[in-house]
Structures are given as C-alpha cells and as structure tokens.
Amino acid sequence: MWKKWKRLRTGEKVLFGIVIFLGFVVVQNFASLEWIGYHSPKPMYPILTHFDFSADGKKGSVLFRTHWCTECHRAIGNGTSSVLDLDGEGSRRSEKWIEAFLADPAKNYGAPTFDHGPTQDAAWVAKLPAQERHDLAVFLSELTADRGAPDAKMPPQGKSSFIDDMLRVWAPESWRIGFSDIRNKDEEQRNNGQ
Ligand code: HEC
C-alpha cells in the first residue's frame, strides 16, 4: 500500500487528496445537517402546511398512495413534483370543487386538461368508485396552508422588507397600476378595527 502510494506522482497525490477532502466535506455536511434536523428543538424551517384528518380524510390519504396519484403529484412528503404539488390544496379549492373535478375534469377544470381528461393518462381517476373520489377529495381539502406558505393565497402577516425589495426590483410598473397589493387588505382590516 505504502509502496504504491510512493510510486504515485505529486499531481496524482494532490488529486487524490482533493477527492478525499471533497468526500469528507460532503459526508460531514450531510451528517451535521441530519444531526441538527433531529436534535434541534426548533424546526429548521417553520412548518406552514397543516392537516388534521377526519376518518374519510385518512382513508383518502391511503388511497392517494395506493392508487399511485403519487406518480404525478406530491402531498405530505409522498410522491413526485412532476405536476401540481397538492400540499395546501385545501386552501386553494373547496372539497366540493375537488370532488367535481375528479368526477368530470374536462367539464370542471376551467381550462384544457393535460392528464385528467377522458383520453389522457389519468382518465382512470374519473372512473374510480364515487366513494373513493369523495374520500380523496376530503383528504386533499384537509391539506391546508398557513399564510406565507408557498400554497397560501396570502403572504406572511406583517411587513416584510424582503417582499418590498422583490417588488421594487422585479415588478414592472404596469403591474403596480394593473393590480392591487393584496397586503393592503391587512392595513384596511386594521383601520376598520378588525
Ligand atoms: C398522469 C399524471 C397524473 C396522475 C396519475 C394524477 N394526476 Fe391529478 N393532475 C395531473 C395534472 C397534469 C393536473 C392538472 C390538470 C390537468 O392538466 O389534467 C392534475 C390536477 C389535479 C387536481 C386539481 C388541482 C388544482 O387545484 O387545480 C387534483 C385535485 C388532482 N389532480 C388529484 C389527483 C388524484 C386524487 C389522483 C389519483 C387518484 C391524481 N390526481 C392522479 C396529473 C395527474
């Protein structure tokens, strides 16, 4: 082993050292992040998506995985992000809307569908028993997002200099004229004493 090492050229030794060092950095970083993740009393990021499942919602959560909705969607840590992420779906859509969508997507989506339509890859979803579509709809409607979560309509409460800066730098003038700032609603509510 030592003889082989001595036979290596200086450049090869340096290269070998760099590879070992990079490997060490990757492993060490991974291990410390995992350690912090498990041992820190505070979560690394605030958790802004919540769920508190009813009995039907729990059944729907199982169906979501056993029917492989996860092949295309993701929710509470299961599945892929190849199409829509359904975490926080309950803050965007009502249970009624989701159930109607699952039963007849072409009619209820409000836009041409890419996968759920009658001749498309996920056409089978509309053919599931009504009870299963109902349970799936209940499950998805119970995935809610707090303010400030990526799926929530409203941004985090209070002033955010980060959002102000992003608006100043990125929002074109036409947006400022054409759209109202949703955060002003907070201001109005405060002024009305609500
Ligand atoms: C082949 C991929 C695929 C599979 C499998 C699939 N979906 Fe979808 N889903 C999509 C796509 C793409 C959309 C967007 C609408 C469209 O283009 O069809 C969507 C939209 C949705 C929406 C509407 C989201 C919104 O707010 O606009 C719901 C709800 C939904 N899917 C639930 C399900 C459930 C439940 C299953 C399993 C029973 C499932 N999907 C299986 C691809 C898929």
Which residue minimizes the CA distance to atom 3 of ligand 1? 72
Question: Rounded CA gap, 103 and 114, in Å?
Answer: 16
- Ligand 1 atom nearest residue 124's Cα: 38
What's the mean pLDDT in 159-169?
89
What is the predicted pLDDT for the residue at 193?
Answer: 61
CA neighbor of 105 nearest in space, from 90, 121, 93, 123: 123
- Would you say the CB of residue 126 lies under 6 angstroms from ligand 1? no
| Contact indicator for 172, 110 with CB cutoff of 8 Å | no
What is the predicted pLDDT for the residue at 52?
Answer: 85
How many Å lie between the centroid of ligand 1 and the Cα of residue 54? 22
Confidence band, pLDDT 50/70/90 cuts, at residue 66? very high
Q: Report angle CA 116, 118, 119 to the nearest 5 degrees.
A: 95
The Cα diameter of the chain in Å comes to 83
- Ligand 1 atom nearest residue 132's Cα: 38
More confident call, 57 vs 5: 57
Question: Rounded CA gap, 100 and 85, in Å?
Answer: 19
How many Å lie between the centroid of ligand 1 and the Cα of residue 115? 7
The predicted-structure confidence for 101-128, as pLDDT tens digits, reads as follows: 999 999 999 999 999 999 999 999 999 9
- Would you say the CB of residue 121 lies under 6 angstroms from ligand 1? yes
How many Å lie between the centroid of ligand 1 and the Cα of residue 154? 24
Instruction: Map tokens 């995985």 to a residue.
Output: 65
Token pair, residue 102, equals: 């699952």
Question: Rounded CA gap, 136 and 93, in Å?
Answer: 13
Instruction: Map tokens 């998506």 to a residue.
Output: 49
CA neighbor of 111 nearest in space, from 86, 84, 132, 73: 84
Instruction: Tell me: pLDDT of 51 over 80.
Output: yes
| Contact indicator for 157, 148 with CB cutoff of 8 Å | yes
Phi/psi for 170 (5° steps) reads -105, -30
Instruction: Tell me: pLDDT of 5 over 60.
Output: yes
